[in-house]
Amino acid sequence: MGSEPLLSQTQFDAFLAIALGFAFAGLIAAIYRALRHEHVRFELLLTGGGATVAAIPLLAAAGPAVIMRNTLRGRKYERRQVHFVAIATALASLWSMVIGYQLMNLLHGFMG
């Protein structure tokens, strides 16, 4: 029996994309919090005017971190059921994978 890899290249890329997407979302959320002294919230879309337009790319990048923060807080303080947490985690993971693949493509483009 030969030594087969544990993951295929596609699976490895998917896991890397999810990790990179969550890391990038967390970084954007942390930078926003450091500059504004408040958490990123989806309610930023309701402020109106130019702030709403500026909030769209911010939330597109930080969305997975916002979803996970809200989900974990909801589970802890509001006793939300586990299936809600699982659905929210799956949604945030898919969103992170999209962000991660875009970042990987961007990095691949820079490196040649």
The pLDDT tens digits of the residues spanning 3-29 come to: 888 889 999 999 999 999 999 999 999
In a domain, 3, yes or no: no
In a domain, 9, yes or no: no
Sign of dihedral through CA atoms 5, 102, 89, 32? positive
In a domain, 75, yes or no: yes
**Number of domains comprising the chain:** 1
Write out pLDDT tens, residues 36-67: 999 999 999 998 888 899 999 999 999 999 99
In a domain, 5, yes or no: no
In a domain, 20, yes or no: no
pLDDT of amino acid 56 = 94
Chain centre to alpha carbon of residue 52: 20
Alpha helices in 38-81 (DSSP H): 50-77
Which domain does 40 fall in, by range?
25-111
In a domain, 60, yes or no: yes
Write the CA distances from 67 to 30, 47, 56, 79, integer angstroms: 14, 19, 15, 16
Long-range contacts of 38-41 (CB under 8 A, 24+ apart): 39/66, 39/69, 40/65, 40/66, 41/66
Q: How much is the average pLDDT of 83-92?
A: 95
